[in-house]
Amino acid sequence: MQRIIIGALFAWSICAASVLAQAPTYWQDIRPVFRKHCTVCHSAKNIREPEVSGGLALDTYEAFRKGSQRAIYLPGKGDASVLIQVLETKDVKKRMPLDAKPLDMATIALIRKWVDAGAAEGKKPDEKTEVVVRKSTKTRKLDVTLTTSAVVPAGVFGKAGGKLELRMKVGPMTPLTAVAFSPDSKLLATGSYGQAAIWELSTGKAMKVLTNVLGAVNDVRFSPDGKILAVAGGQPSAKGDLRLYSVGDWKLLATLPGHDDSISYLDFSRDGKLLASASFDKTVRIWNVPQLKLERILPDHSDFVYGVAFSPDAKLLASCSKDRTVKLVETATGKGVFTFGGMEQDIIALAFSRNGKQLVSSGYETSLYWWNTQTGDRIRAQGGHGVAVNELRFSNDGSKLVSAGGDSTLRVWNGTTGALVKTVSVGAHVYAAAISPNNKLLASGSYDGLARVWDEASGRLLLTMTSFPGDGEMINWVSLTPEGYGAASSPKLGERGQWLMAGQQVAADRVWAGLQQPDMVARALRGEKLPPPKFAK
Amino acid sequence: MSRHFTFCLAVCVGLHAAGFVAAQQPVALTVHPAKVTLDGPRAEQRIGVLGKYVAASRDVAREAKFTCSVAAIVRIDDGVLRPVKDGETVVTVTVGGLSAAIPVTVKNATADVPVSFSREIIPILTKAGCNQGACHGSQHGRGGFKLSLLGYDAIFDYPQLVQSAEGRRVVLSDPERSILLQKPILAMEHGGGERFKHSSREYEFLKRWLEDGAPAPTAKDPEATGLEVWPAHRVMVPGETQQILVKATWQDGRSEDVTAVAQYDSLNESVAAVDNNGRITAKSKGETHIMIRFCGQASVVQVTLPYARVQNYPDLPRNNFVDDKLTAKWKELGITPSPACSDDEFFRRIHLDTIGTLPTAADVKAFLADKAPDKRKKAIDRVLNRPEFVDFWALKWGDLLRINREFLNERGMWSFHNWVRGSLRDGKPLDEMVRDIITAQGSTFTEGPANYFMVSRGAAEWSETTSQVFLGVRIGCAKCHHHPFEKWSQDDYYGMAAFFVRLGTKGSQEFGLFGGEQVVFLRATGEQGHPRKGGIVAPHPLDGPKMDDALDRRIKLAEWMTSPSNPFFARNLVNRFWGYYMGRGLVEPLDDMRVTNPATNPELLDMLAKDFVASKFSLKHLLRTIMNSRAYQLSSLATPGNEADAANLYYARFGIRRLSAEQLADAIDFASGTQEKYPGLPLGTRAIQLPDAAVKSYLLEVFGRPSRRITCECERTVQPNIAQALHLLNGDFLNKKIAAPTGRIEKLLKAKRPLPEMVEELYLATLSRSPRADELGRALAWVRRAPTEREGVQDLLWALLNSREFLFNH
């Protein structure tokens, strides 16, 4: 009997020694527990909502130490600490996690041990490592098909002729969620998951593909002077990612941290000094661009903020949200001017008219709502896509308004009267739309992962573009006119895809030799009518 | 497919006969299913194995050995077959020396079949609880993410998952980065906690669906049309387990094992529990059902844990088929009934239950003195022919039809009330009565049943009320979403509404500008739209074919409802009346009949319904059958043989209940020899004769008279409350009645009746029986000790009126 007790004591002392040797720390042992059970409510982004967080955040060590109104732990005294008491209480109304099964004994013991040992911080993991984009291990197996109207005459590739199409095993594609023309109308920036591409409209070539953006790129914007490209994305429910690149050399000028969820929309003030970002973290942030610093946080929305827009004089800032309101505030003070309500669905898109007197909003509330920004009155509710409207953009001269619709169309509206001017059928749920500053082109980004450029006057498709991961770190891209002329990241790419003629596979190298003609792509983008491609026999 | 092959080895039977069978050797094996077809790369089939032993059967799937005649056709993990490559094989299941063979065909094992959103993904979201009412299925969703409740609307859910909020929930090019996968495995914070594990079946299916490019559902995707569960019924002992197997059939004829994705709930956790995978664990004695749900379909497995093993079950007397069906159930459960009740108990019961009225002292005495062997039968016939029968059942129908002057105005209320009385007086068969109601039209002042369409308003409400009152089916949920525990969908709901869509009501000035007459009329045209899918919904009753009528669609509905083959109508009515007479419906609540709320004795319910139909829907025939059964005539006292069934679910004794508000008001009047004056009605009008609940009476309010505002049996309550006790014990209400100058006591005193006779009459007027010798002695002693004889007998009556024996039908 005695021997057993001695043995037990001995074993216990070994245990105690090993515990002391590696006392738990916040970052190594406790943060993972908090992350699993606590931080969905007790996080920095919920601090503003005391009914959710109780004013307590546990997602950083500093926040944990601060507690809510008072400290939640006494270093070295686990049992006397509120943190342990709320985990162990029998009162289910007070027990944490609320409305869930209590933590198991071993986990509570771990937390107690940590507090008993002084609640050390440990070493915070390097944040950069969290952000690094893990290489995709996914095998792409679905076909993405780009159709053309190019008809190969009989006798070129076999007896019969037929229409050509390019089929590539690169799907499923992520949606193309952002498009923006440069101020000189020469470039088109597009955004999709983890990347932004900049296309040279004179050749149809992607002059640069920016990778390593976190999560889906929900918006891209050129600064009004054309020198900066802002790229916005982020990891949903984790952090926003806002990057400024220098146009031309594409150097990363800055990352602007702070949003706690992915960023949905951007707008530069007309003088280029301010940049506003709207986020799923329910806030809008205003950034000082020359100084690369945060100017102001607007926390007024109670749900995802989907859109943001400066008035032309930048005195006012409008934002729209899943909370079914549009809010208009003074940019300089953040003071509310008007809240536009009365809608029953999410407001996803909004745009300021050129003269600043009108504001247009839409979303799942499918009509386009035109608001008077001086009086706060609704001028009209008309038009729309019948289903979601995802983006609204005025042309630079204010004469036109383009909308991106969940009904797979782009629509152009009279910028003054709101009357429908034309409907362009895109073929997939449209997420993004833009009008080129010279008023000649429209761009669309859609669920099928493709960007398309259209002739504004005729609504004719001019160019289809897409990019996707290639070998290693490479990003491949390809663009194709409806006539079949195209450009690709490497000459091989056009050959590696399958070219089909009336459904039959034909020799890719010979097809591509006839189609890869940059000058023809350039002519297409100028709106010229192109001759049919010729193929060597 | 569904037949079970039973394999029995003669040699085992032989050993059994010799009495040498070891306890762990089964004498027969039943495997399910008998034959398997695995179609598609993700198909699976769990194999159920039931071993029959000498005394009982049990689940032996976990002990079974599975072998395959052709290797590499199927994989067998833990009793589940999964395809490897196309071909045919035979899987042999072996337990304790017995074996059974299952032919297996594998098709499309390696085909690239994209994951179906409606057929494969929605069930996963439902089972993981994502779309339940408390989470993303709530009206406003959760955390900005909303799904249709329990996945009834795949077309709505798809864009929510894939496209809305800028498509933030999925990353098609790299599925494992999708928050759709990261949140439920808690790789990211998730308010709903961990819903499934990394690499689990759920995770892999969702991932595969995203890899397939997240193919969208279409409006034409087949819907699940039925569930087949195995085993349908098990008799078990505490601690025993049983794996359930679930097969779903789809509109396109496909059927498949969905055991892994069905949802399981025990209706009574204390009798048997069920885990997330469909494994039942028997716990304590009793009977319950396991509810199984999948894609809007629902079914049950019955689990019985006998209360006792009754050796040599007694040969019980029987009066009619009711007793046969009940006895069969008692034998299965190992319970024995209480003995028959006494004649005075019986006599009081049939009066209260049939006419809401206490028997007179003279009638009680005559009945007790009657020596005829069939005197109970004759008494039942007599009570059924009493005039109060009309009063009492008009009251009940008034509750069901919500006859109420607030909805109908006073003249309409009287018109409807008097029509119901007339129907009962004429002995109108219930099918005819209901047909008259369903097809009524015209003036609410002259056509009584037309008022039915003034109580609830509009096609939707009319169809809900009609379904609940006459079919016992609550379809209200399906107005907005699929019923969570039932198969009723919006199609069914609006199919019912379509019968009433052409019906309208308008005011008339026949009785002056403010006469208040309303007219129920038919329009020549009008169609029911579908709020979600759009388009027109053709009229079709629940589970019935499409039907139309050029004159009035309601005629077809009424014909369908009252057809002898209707599965709901007769069962609903007999269940209600059985419940009124026995204290508890075979299905409870009385008006919530559904697959997942099964009857405690389904065979009896079926037989009662069949008998009711055969009697041409005669109410009196039904009541006569119930009252003549021995079950109705059992004592209400529990015996050791049935006390384990605390809730008296199986009717092994009479179910006691408090007198209803109206029964009590009239019984107090009767006992005290007074007559309550109800406002607006002539003196002499009894509580059971009141036309609606607008007639003020504190007693009736306090004792749970329904206000007839909602279509629910639950509106009438027998819940005790403190006001009831105070009203009877302390209030001057009873004192005034007892001391009334024209009351029973004053009459007795005036007649100078001897005290023992007075005591006996007070007993007969309250408890419908004579006092026992000891009671008489104590009563006499009490009265004689009182300051005056008047005060003494008044106190005695007060005590009797506050006794439980008076307040309860027992």
Whether the per-residue pLDDT at B242 is higher than 90: the answer is: yes
Q: Name the closest residue on chain A to residue B194, using Cα atoms.
A: A36
Domain final position from A427, A449, A471: A449
Q: Residue A2: inside a domain, yes or no?
A: no
Q: Residue B698: inside a domain, yes or no?
A: no
Are residue B51 and residue B129 in the same domain, yes or no? no
pLDDT in the model for residue A379: 93
In sign, the C-alpha dihedral spanning B436, B442, B447, B449 is positive
Q: Which two structure tokens, joined as six digits, stand for B182?
A: 């990261």
Check A406 against B210: CB less than 8 A apart.
Answer: no
Are residue B382 and residue B425 in the same domain, yes or no? no
Check A141 against B211: CB less than 8 A apart.
Answer: yes
pLDDT in the model for residue B558: 96
* Cβ atoms of B90 and B69 closer than 8 Å: yes
**Closest to A38 in 3D by CA, of A62, A20, A60:** A60
Q: Residue B557: inside a domain, yes or no?
A: yes
Whether the per-residue pLDDT at B227 is higher than 50: the answer is: yes
DSSP bridge partners of B279: B243
pLDDT in the model for residue B530: 92
Check B163 against A280: CB less than 8 A apart.
Answer: no
pLDDT in the model for residue B23: 52
pLDDT in the model for residue A453: 96
Instruction: Write out the DSSP string of B524-555.
Output: S---EEPTTT-SEEPP--TT------SS-HHH
Q: Which residue has the higher pLDDT, B482 or B580?
A: B580
Q: In what order do the strands lie in the sheet with A195-200?
A: A178-181, A187-192, A195-200, A205-210
Check B211 against A172: CB less than 8 A apart.
Answer: yes
Whether the per-residue pLDDT at B711 is higher than 90: the answer is: no
pLDDT band at B348 (very low <50, low <70, confident <90, very high): very high
* Cβ atoms of B146 and B157 closer than 8 Å: no
Instruction: Write out the DSSP string of A488-534.
Output: ESSHHHHHHSEEEETTEEE-HHHHHHHH--HHHHHHHHTT---PPP-
Domain count of the fold of chain A = 3
Find the range with the poorest average confidence among A136-140, A214-218, A512-516, B433-437: A136-140
Q: Residue A407: inside a domain, yes or no?
A: yes
Check A264 against B214: CB less than 8 A apart.
Answer: no
pLDDT in the model for residue A242: 96
How far is C-alpha B322 from the chain's CA centre? Answer: 19
Are residue A185 and residue A167 in the same domain, yes or no? no
pLDDT in the model for residue B358: 97
- Here the CATH number for the domain that contains residue A268 is 2.130.10.10
Give me the domain span that covers residue A44. 24-124
Phi then psi for B343, rounded to 5 degrees?
-60, -40
pLDDT band at A134 (very low <50, low <70, confident <90, very high): very low
Average the pLDDT over A481-486 and give the result.
92
Domain final position from B190, B211, B232: B211
Q: Residue B653: inside a domain, yes or no?
A: no
Are residue B420 and residue B544 in the same domain, yes or no? yes
A122 min Cα distance to partner chain B (Å): 22
pLDDT in the model for residue B417: 97
CB contact set of B213 (below 8 Å; sequence gap of 6+): A142, A171, A172, B114, B172
B295 min Cα distance to partner chain A (Å): 27
Are residue A413 and residue A468 in the same domain, yes or no? no
Q: ω into residue B215 within 30 of 0, thus cis?
A: no
Domain final position from A421, A449, A477: A449
Strands A305-310 and A263-268: unpaired
DSSP annotation of B597 reads B
pLDDT band at B18 (very low <50, low <70, confident <90, very high): very low
Q: Residue A192: inside a domain, yes or no?
A: yes
Are residue A206 and residue A341 in the same domain, yes or no? yes
Are residue A383 and residue A507 in the same domain, yes or no? no
Whether the per-residue pLDDT at A6 is higher than 70: the answer is: no
Are residue A398 and residue A509 in the same domain, yes or no? no
Q: Which residues of A touch B174 (CB under 8 A)?
A: 136, 138, 193
Are residue A238 and residue A338 in the same domain, yes or no? yes
Phi then psi for A462, rounded to 5 degrees?
-105, -40
Give me the domain span that covers residue B783. 732-809
Measured CA to CA, the distance from residue A277 to residue A269 in angstroms comes to 11
- Summary mean pLDDT of chain B: 92
Are residue A443 and residue A393 in the same domain, yes or no? yes
Check B169 against A141: CB less than 8 A apart.
Answer: no
Q: Which residues of A365-401 are buried (b: 16+ CB within 10 A; e: fewer)?
A: bbbbbbbebeeeeeeebebbbeebbbbbbbbbebebb
Are residue B406 and residue B482 in the same domain, yes or no? yes
Domain count of the fold of chain B = 6
Average the pLDDT over A389-415 and give the result.
95
Are residue B23 and residue B126 in the same domain, yes or no? no
pLDDT in the model for residue A108: 92
Are residue A231 and residue A321 in the same domain, yes or no? yes
Interface test with B, best of A60, A193, A466 (most B CBs within 10 A): A193
Domain final position from B305, B326, B349: B305
Are residue B378 and residue B411 in the same domain, yes or no? no
Are residue B61 and residue B129 in the same domain, yes or no? no
* Cβ atoms of A478 and A464 closer than 8 Å: no
Average the pLDDT over B674-700 and give the result.
94
Q: Residue B195: inside a domain, yes or no?
A: yes
Among the partner-chain residues A39, A322, A469, the one whose CB lies closest to the CB of B144 is A322
Interface test with A, best of B112, B168, B206, B208 (most A CBs within 10 A): B168
Among the partner-chain residues B144, B159, B171, the one whose CB lies closest to the CB of A304 is B144
Phi then psi for A208, rounded to 5 degrees?
-160, 140
Average the pLDDT over B373-381 and give the result.
97
**Closest to B233 in 3D by CA, of B99, B101, B93, B333:** B333
Q: Which residues of A325-364 are buried (b: 16+ CB within 10 A; e: fewer)?
A: bbbbbebeebeeebebeebeebbbbbbbbbebebbbbbbb
Check B173 against A469: CB less than 8 A apart.
Answer: yes
Interface size A-B, in CB pairs within 8 Å, comes to 85
Measured CA to CA, the distance from residue A101 to residue A415 in angstroms comes to 56
Q: Which residues of B178-210 are buried (b: 16+ CB within 10 A; e: fewer)?
A: bbbbbbbbbbbbbebbebbeeeeebbebbbbbb
Are residue A408 and residue A295 in the same domain, yes or no? yes
Are residue A223 and residue A353 in the same domain, yes or no? yes
**Closest to A467 in 3D by CA, of A144, A221, A236, A150:** A144
- Here the CATH number for the domain that contains residue B234 is 2.60.40.1080
Q: Name the closest residue on chain B to residue A173, using Cα atoms.
A: B173
pLDDT in the model for residue A127: 55
Q: In what order do the strands lie in the sheet with A142-152?
A: A142-152, A162-171, A498-501, A504-506
- The number of residues making up chain A comes to 537
Q: Residue A10: inside a domain, yes or no?
A: no
Are residue B101 and residue B127 in the same domain, yes or no? no
Are residue B404 and residue B524 in the same domain, yes or no? yes
Measured CA to CA, the distance from residue B260 to residue B701 in angstroms comes to 51
Q: Residue A228: inside a domain, yes or no?
A: yes
Condensed to tens digits (0 to 9), the pLDDT of residues A49-102 reads 777 788 898 888 988 988 888 888 988 888 889 899 999 988 888 888 887 788
Q: Which residues of A touch B193 (CB under 8 A)?
A: 97, 100
Average the pLDDT over A352-357 and give the result.
94
Are residue B478 and residue B519 in the same domain, yes or no? yes
Are residue B259 and residue B190 in the same domain, yes or no? no
Measured CA to CA, the distance from residue B693 to residue B408 in angstroms comes to 13
B194 min Cα distance to partner chain A (Å): 8
CB contact set of A102 (below 8 Å; sequence gap of 6+): A87, A88, A95
DSSP annotation of B612 reads H
Q: Which two structure tokens, joined as six digits, stand for A456?
A: 């504004």
SS3 percent helix, strand, coil of chain A, rounded to 5, is 15, 40, 45
- Summary mean pLDDT of chain A: 88
Condensed to tens digits (0 to 9), the pLDDT of residues B524-580 reads 999 999 988 889 999 999 999 999 998 999 999 999 999 999 999 999 999 999 999
Check B172 against A304: CB less than 8 A apart.
Answer: no
Whether the per-residue pLDDT at B7 is higher than 50: the answer is: no
Condensed to tens digits (0 to 9), the pLDDT of residues B748-761 reads 999 999 999 999 99
Angstrom distances, CA of residue B450 to CA of B447, B466, B693: 6, 14, 20
Please return the burial class of B73, using the count of CB atoms within 10 Å of its CB with bins 0-12, 13-18 and 19+: buried
pLDDT band at A429 (very low <50, low <70, confident <90, very high): very high
Whether the per-residue pLDDT at A21 is higher than 60: the answer is: no
The three-class DSSP label of residue A85 is helix
Whether the per-residue pLDDT at A20 is higher than 50: the answer is: no
Are residue B47 and residue B144 in the same domain, yes or no? no
Q: Residue A250: inside a domain, yes or no?
A: yes
Q: Which residue has the higher pLDDT, B615 or A14?
A: B615
* Cβ atoms of A506 and A154 closer than 8 Å: no
Phi then psi for B708, rounded to 5 degrees?
60, 40
Domain final position from A93, A124, A155: A124
Q: In what order do the strands lie in the sheet with B98-107?
A: B36-39, B98-107, B87-95, B65-68
Among the partner-chain residues B159, B167, B190, the one whose CB lies closest to the CB of A177 is B167
Q: Name the closest residue on chain B to residue A467, using Cα atoms.
A: B173
Check A237 against B189: CB less than 8 A apart.
Answer: yes
Condensed to tens digits (0 to 9), the pLDDT of residues B769-791 reads 999 999 999 999 999 999 999 99
Q: Residue A457: inside a domain, yes or no?
A: no
pLDDT in the model for residue A78: 87
DSSP bridge partners of A206: A199
pLDDT in the model for residue B119: 95
**Closest to A499 in 3D by CA, of A463, A533, A469, A450:** A533
pLDDT in the model for residue A43: 81
Check B168 against A280: CB less than 8 A apart.
Answer: yes
Check A193 against B173: CB less than 8 A apart.
Answer: yes
Measured CA to CA, the distance from residue B723 to residue B699 in angstroms comes to 10
Q: Residue A64: inside a domain, yes or no?
A: yes
Q: Name residue B692's amino acid.
A: D
Check A142 against B213: CB less than 8 A apart.
Answer: yes
